[in-house]
Amino acid sequence: MLAETNDPLLKSRLQMRKLALERAVLIENALAEFKQREGRLPDGLVELVTSGDLVMLPEDPYGGRWGILKMVEYSVRANLRTNPPQTKTTKKNPRTS
């Protein structure tokens, strides 16, 4: 798609997205290596640099900051034991009873 377009605005946007994706893949690969070796995710992305998994943290081409979204295991059954669902009581309508 990038090679096929002649629209300079679209080409610029696609190049930026490609660069962001390439940098995200670098970070994801470093995270996977770190987790495999350490058995946990790093406390922050800087730890990937200090551990040697990344030479440096790549710049976000959009000007934002990279971050780690940690998945939290959540048990519905355990949550139901500690927070049982509230039963809703409804008043009967005297006109329909």
Q: Can you read off the two tokens belonging to residue 31?
A: 């995270």
* pLDDT tens string 9-56: 988 899 999 999 999 999 999 999 999 999 999 999 999 999 999 999
Please tell me the distance from the alpha carbon of residue 16 to that of residue 14, in angstroms, as a whole number: 5
pTM exceeds 0.75 for this model: no
Length of the chain: 97
Return d(Cα 66, Cα 59) in angstroms, integer. 8
Q: Which of helix, strand or coil describes residue 1? A: coil
pLDDT at 88: 54
Least confident of 3-7, 25-29, 54-58, 76-80: 76-80
